[in-house]
Amino acid sequence: MNTHPEREINIEVPVMVRLEGEGALSFQASNGKVEQLHLRIYEPPRLFEEFLVGRNYTDVPTITARICGICPIAYQMTSILALEKLFDVEPGPWVYDMRRLLYCGEWLQSHALHIHLLAAPDFLGFDNAIDMAEDHPETVTRGMRLQALGNEILRLLGGRSVHPIGLKVGGFHKAPSVDAAQSLLKKCEAALDDVRQLVAWCAQLNLPEDQQQFTSVAIHNENEYAIMPGRLRSDAGLNIGFNQYADNFAEEQVPHSTAFYSRLNGHSYFLGPLARVNLNFSQLPGSVKAWAEAQGLKFPSADMFHNVVARAIECHYALEESIRILKAYQLPESPFVEVVPKAGVGEFCTEAPRGMIYHRYQVDASGSIRAATIIPPTSQNQLRIEENLKSSVERFGLNHTDDELRLFCEKIIRNYDPCISCSVHFLKLDVDRC
């Protein structure tokens, strides 16, 4: 087996497994130098921003959900909030809480799925979760249980977990019954043990170490662990309102790729669970913080593989937060407020499971969409992923077999849980067969 570091290395992984959506890895090196290392995203373009033009604003959440079946709430919610901002709509505390609850459901299902079914096989040495299930049935079923619970939270308010139908600009179509909320509360309480075990389990996982230099970006909210409203902050001093997004973040096409790369003031940046925990750890409820600290976890962390631990902590948080909201559940006077459209521009950001997402809509006086911009987290993370790949591979050393190198790269990519389905912006690349 050739492990000479100066050999010609040419690794092409046409379909990366255990990713949400389909992406490819392309890695070339020669003379001991990495020449190219890309996460190729070849989901064909689906032109969602154009579909929205000419549609009534009421259709927007229905259409944007279809951008991504893995985290439809992120798309629905961000579009709804952007439009409400524009229309000066304030749906009040009941709707606010229910939206947080719904978002917690999405975090829980998405994180639980990623940790157990997509990432864990990497750390335990299996090809996939189906194979892993034989040796670690408990781990796999715990993942399924938590994911199912997340889905159930989504169903309470959304009707179904994929492309929920319960949300609208102004609030919700229907308030769940007190009975339904109570029975979900019981299930959430029963799952507390699972999430705590999950954090402990992640903390003791034999994770590779991967110290990186990066800028974490996340929403920050003075009053709570941020999911929706707040300001965009970074650990490098960024502190702006959502309406300043375009002044600081730019998308560009780079020479070696036709995919969009987002930069924050010219540099790469990092979004997602670890970025959030790094920036907002102190705002987690005491029980969540204490449990994490009891496992010996410390934040902020510059170790990229702590992303999986951060995900587990967010599962714990999502569940505690759901319990808090469900315990206080009461039927509202009305689950929504009336909306009167007006012309203008509305922008908003929220924290999708994979990181911050940005939506901007221009609407005319009749409520018809004139223009839309949607920037999903994965396209914002792409540059960071590739930088991470390069530096880590150099540190790992090219004196490994192709297979080892490939697996190493895949692990690093998967650790970001990139979601390629949100293909609004992604382009097909011509495969470089050098």
Min dist CB 239 to another protein, Å, is 30
CA distance 294 to 307: 18
- The window from 25-33, 180-188, 225-233, 425-433 that contacts another protein (CB under 8 A) reads 425-433
Told to check if 45 binds another protein by CB under 8 A, we report yes
Told to check if 366 binds another protein by CB under 8 A, we report no
- The window from 165-173, 223-231, 235-243, 375-383 that contacts another protein (CB under 8 A) reads 165-173
Q: Which of residues 239-278 bind another protein (CB under 8 A)?
A: 253, 258
What is the phi/psi pair of residue 9, to 5°? -110, 130
- The window from 39-47, 199-207, 337-345, 349-357 that contacts another protein (CB under 8 A) reads 39-47
CA distance 240 to 160: 35
Told to check if 49 binds another protein by CB under 8 A, we report yes
Told to check if 56 binds another protein by CB under 8 A, we report yes
Min dist CB 9 to another protein, Å, is 21
Closer Cβ to another protein, 144 or 302, answer by number:
144
CA distance 314 to 324: 15
- The window from 155-163, 325-333, 348-356, 401-409 that contacts another protein (CB under 8 A) reads 155-163
- The window from 69-77, 226-234, 316-324, 396-404 that contacts another protein (CB under 8 A) reads 69-77
Of 129, 142, 278, 125, which Cα lies nearest the Cα of 200? 142
| Residue 49 assigned as binding residue | yes
| Residue 136 assigned as binding residue | no
| Residue 422 assigned as binding residue | yes
Told to check if 159 binds another protein by CB under 8 A, we report yes
Closer Cβ to another protein, 137 or 397, answer by number:
137
Cα torsion through 352, 353, 355, 359, rounded to 10: -10
Closer Cβ to another protein, 203 or 352, answer by number:
352
| Residue 220 assigned as binding residue | no
CB contact at 8 A, 132 and 144: no
Instruction: Out of 59, 189, 224, 394, name the contact with another protein by CB under 8 A.
Output: 59
User: Cα–chain-centroid distance for residue 270?
Assistant: 11
Question: What x/- string results for residues 88 through 117 when contact with another protein is judged by CB under 8 A?
Answer: -------------------------x---x
Told to check if 171 binds another protein by CB under 8 A, we report no
Instruction: Out of 11, 30, 36, 173, name the contact with another protein by CB under 8 A.
Output: 173
Distances from the Cα of 61 to the Cα of 46, 83, 171, 343, 356, angstroms:
16, 10, 12, 18, 18
Amino acid letter at 263?
Answer: R
Q: How many residues bind another protein (CB under 8 A)?
A: 60
Question: What x/- string results for residues 112 through 151 when contact with another protein is judged by CB under 8 A?
Answer: -x---x---x-----xxxxx-x-------x--x--xx--x
Closer Cβ to another protein, 65 or 325, answer by number:
65
Told to check if 380 binds another protein by CB under 8 A, we report no
| Residue 419 assigned as binding residue | yes
As to burial, measured by CB atoms within 10 angstroms (0-12 exposed, 13-18 middle, 19+ buried), residue 251 is middle
| Residue 413 assigned as binding residue | no
Closer Cβ to another protein, 66 or 324, answer by number:
66
| Residue 68 assigned as binding residue | yes
Told to check if 76 binds another protein by CB under 8 A, we report no
Binding site for another protein (CB under 8 A): 15-22, 43-47, 49-51, 55-56, 59, 62-63, 66-70, 72, 113, 117, 121, 127-131, 133, 141, 144, 147-148, 151, 159-163, 165-166, 168, 173-174, 253, 258, 421-423, 425, 427-428, 430
Return binding residues for Ni(2+). Answer: 68, 71, 419
